């Protein structure tokens, strides 16, 4: 199955696992986000992507400018290792990594989760690409991708055993929207995928086609 098909199947099963009020809370949160101008203000195709230097789980700081010296960069944001949709997407990108590399590009994932948690996420999903921590969603915020979770959704996540404070090391209750970019060697964005609905992600097939 394609990533899009996998996510759709998981979402349909999620409705069965968490019916009623839980579904209403999650749907209302997505609807509220769709009523904002977050997509309008986010960085898109044709924009210049800002340089950054962020740490991986081993403490090494990775700079976008250095990666671009070697070729294009596919950059994707994920919410945290607690998010099943993120894990499905990360695994799909890992499976597509050979084709991404064959196109002369590197793959990088950005997350607000702490380096200790990114290590767990990398190990769990057997990832062979860089996973970098953007503390307090700093990079995503500069790109216009960050939103505040409604209290009802924060409370629901706690019932699910999701601890955003532990995941991110802060009490902000903020997350990045689903976002994937292809960045050319001149720093320009040549492809973007943005979605307010966390259940939707850029399909690797589309990313590879755009490289």
- Given a cut of 90, is residue 81 above it in pLDDT? yes
**pLDDT at residue 75 is higher than 90:** yes
Q: Could you list the residue range(s) of the whole structural domain that residue 198 is in?
A: 3-210
Rounded to an integer, the average pLDDT of 94-116 is 97
Q: Which tens digits make up the pLDDT trace of 108-165?
A: 999 999 999 998 999 999 999 999 999 999 999 999 999 999 999 999 999 999 999 9
CA distance 107 to 18: 33
User: Count of alpha carbons within 13 Å of 32, Cβ hemisphere only?
Assistant: 13
Distance CA 86, CA 122 (A): 12
**How far is it, in rounded angstroms, from Cα 127 to Cα 132?**
12
Q: What is the pLDDT of residues 11-35, one digit of tens each?
A: 999 888 888 899 999 999 999 999 9
Report the alpha-carbon distance of residue 207 to residue 28 in Å, rounded. 30
Output the CA–CA distances (angstroms, integers) from residue 61 to 64, 133, 194, 206, in the order listed: 10, 10, 26, 29
Helix/strand/coil for 188: strand
* Burial of 90: CB neighbours in 10 Å, binned 0-12, 13-18, 19+: buried
Query: d(Cα 122, Cα 43) in Å, to the nearest integer?
Result: 27
CATH assignment of the domain containing 194: 3.40.30.10
Mean pLDDT over 90-112 rounds to 98
Domain count, the chain: 1
Looking at residue 48, what is its pLDDT? 98
User: Which two structure tokens, joined as six digits, stand for 34?
Assistant: 């769709």
CA-CA distance, 203 to 101, in Å (whole number)? 16
Q: What is the distance between the alpha carbons of residues 145 and 76, in angstroms, rounded to a whole number?
A: 12
**pLDDT value at position 17?**
83
The whole-angstrom distance between residue 190's C-alpha and the CA centroid of its chain comes to: 18
8 A C-beta contact, residue 75 and residue 183:
yes
pLDDT digits (tens, 9 = 90+) for 167-186: 999 999 999 999 999 999 99
- 178 sits in which H/E element: strand 178-183
For the purposes of burial, counting CB atoms within 10 Å of the CB of 25, is it exposed (0-12), middle (13-18) or buried (19 or more)?
A: middle
């Amino acid at each position: 199955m394609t990533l899009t098909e996998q996510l759709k199947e998981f979402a349909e099963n999620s409705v069965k696992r968490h019916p009623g009020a839980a579904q209403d809370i999650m749907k209302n949160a997505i609807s509220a986000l769709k009523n904002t101008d977050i997509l309008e203000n986010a960085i898109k195709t044709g924009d210049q992507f800002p340089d950054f230097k962020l740490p991986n789980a081993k403490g090494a700081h990775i700079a976008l400018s250095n990666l671009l010296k070697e070729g294009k960069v596919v950059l994707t944001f994920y919410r945290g290792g607690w998010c099943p949709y993120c894990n499905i997407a990360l695994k799909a990108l890992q499976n597509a990594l050979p084709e991404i590399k064959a196109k002369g590009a590197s793959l990088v994932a950005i997350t607000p989760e702490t380096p200790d948690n990114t290590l767990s996420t990398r190990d769990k999903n057997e990832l062979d690409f860089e996973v970098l921590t953007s503390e307090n969603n700093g990079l995503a915020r500069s790109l216009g991708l960050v939103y505040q979770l409604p209290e009802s959704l924060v409370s629901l996540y706690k019932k699910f055993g999701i601890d955003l404070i532990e995941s991110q090391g802060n009490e902000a209750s903020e997350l990045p929207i689903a976002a994937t970019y292809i960045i050319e060697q001149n720093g320009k964005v040549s492809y973007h995928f943005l979605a307010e609905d966390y259940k939707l992600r850029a399909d690797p097939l589309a990313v590879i086609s755009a490289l």
